[in-house]
Amino acid sequence: MTFAQMVIALLLAFIGMVLLAPIYINLLQRLGFGKQIRTDGPQSHYGKAGTPTMGGMLVVGVVLFLAMALRIEDAGTLTPMLTLVGVGILGAIDDFVNVRTGIGMRGRWKLVWQTVVAILAAFYIWSHFNLTGINIPFVGQFVLAPELLIVFIAFVIVGTSNAVNLTDGLDGLAGGVLIFSFVAYLLISLVEIEDLKAAQPNLAIFCALVIGALMGFLWFNVHPAQIFMGDSGALSLGATLAVVATVNGQLPLLAVIGIVFFAVIMSVVLQVLSFRFLGRRIFRIAPLHHHFELIGWAEEKITLRFWIVAALAGLLGVSIFVTGVPGL
């Protein structure tokens, strides 16, 4: 029955997005919620100025409404749902400030908000799932003191949130990559490991809702985009992805499943460190996808190639997980 419920959830979220998005886009246009483009980015993006942003709030709203309508709230879904709301509100404020000023919130205040939500989520997961460490593929469980474990989980949640936000720089890029990541964790949610991990059908249905909503969002976000995800979607969905990985007990696998996000945020880190200590840049511009733009790749080609990498990474991540499950 779970498979049918997942399909129904996915279809409901997709249909809801497709029906509501035109109304939402029109509302944002009337309110003047158009994206202001950074002047230090690729010049090809200047024509995107004025495109409605804050599309992530519609994704968040559809997912939460359907999650409550389908009554899937339990210990495994409550944390990602609250994370989606908590960080989504932060992102919405940032989108609003960007529309009005062209700058957005100060990075330090965003980081504080993200950290508070991440620590609360990590503490809730630790206390309700009796976590004692992290499960490393092919190695086993690495035991950590509760304080270190909570800090580590919170660090990954904040890092993933910002990594997805950095990836949201091309039409359809972040949304498509997120779909493959959530598909991987949906499959992992359905597997039960004796004495280690119980199957979590409600969490799988939650992932299906996110996947369906993102598919509906991509209907309007692929190039040329009619609406942008904005921080309200990128920050919240990135944090939620890390929370889902934690609830599944497979947080280290996020380095494989989310390799695109990891590569993007590391391109920024390496660029900053190289320029600060060596006085030169590694990439023409960071994040990574903009570097490929400047060397001549078309936007659609970059997006599709990153999607392909994300799909392969998802398959690899699930394969690594299954390999370590006795009897599968």
- Interatomic CA distance for residues 299 and 72, integer angstroms: 38
**pLDDT band, residue 47 (cuts 50/70/90):** low
- Interatomic CA distance for residues 305 and 182, integer angstroms: 18
262-316, pLDDT tens digit by residue? 999 999 999 999 999 988 999 999 999 999 999 999 999 999 999 999 999 999 9
Task: Compute and round to an integer the Cα radius of gyration of the chain.
Answer: 19
Length of the chain as a residue count: 328
Q: What is the pLDDT of residue 100?
A: 79
Torsion, CA 236, CA 239, CA 240, CA 242, rounded to 10: 160
Q: State the average pLDDT over residues 134-156.
A: 91
Taking alpha carbons only, the member of 241, 232, 218, 248 closest to residue 325 is 248
- Predicted TM-score (pTM) of the model is 0.95
Tokens of 31: 């309110």
Contact 117, 86 (CB under 8 A): yes
User: Domain ranges in the chain?
Assistant: 2-251
Kindly state the percentage of the chain with pLDDT values over 90. 75
Q: State the average pLDDT over residues 53-75.
A: 95
Reply yes or no on whether the pLDDT at 37 is more than 90: no
Q: What is the mean pLDDT of the chain?
A: 91
- Interatomic CA distance for residues 109 and 17, integer angstroms: 31
178-232, pLDDT tens digit by residue? 999 999 999 999 988 766 667 899 999 999 999 999 999 999 999 999 999 999 9
Taking alpha carbons only, the member of 285, 304, 84, 273 closest to residue 177 is 304
Q: Which of 13-17, 139-143, 307-311 has the lowest mean pLDDT?
A: 139-143
Tokens of 278: 């060596």
Taking every pair of Cα atoms in the chain, the longest distance, rounded to a whole number of angstroms, is 59
Q: What is the pLDDT of residue 7?
A: 96
97-137, pLDDT tens digit by residue? 888 776 767 778 889 999 999 999 999 999 988 888 898 88
Reply yes or no on whether the pLDDT at 48 is more than 90: no
Taking alpha carbons only, the member of 294, 321, 211 closest to residue 40 is 294
**pLDDT band, residue 58 (cuts 50/70/90):** very high
Distance of CA 160 to the CA centre of its chain: 7
Q: Give φ, ψ of 231 to 5 degrees.
A: -65, -30
- Interatomic CA distance for residues 292 and 260, integer angstroms: 14
- Interatomic CA distance for residues 20 and 158, integer angstroms: 30
Reply yes or no on whether the pLDDT at 39 is more than 60: no
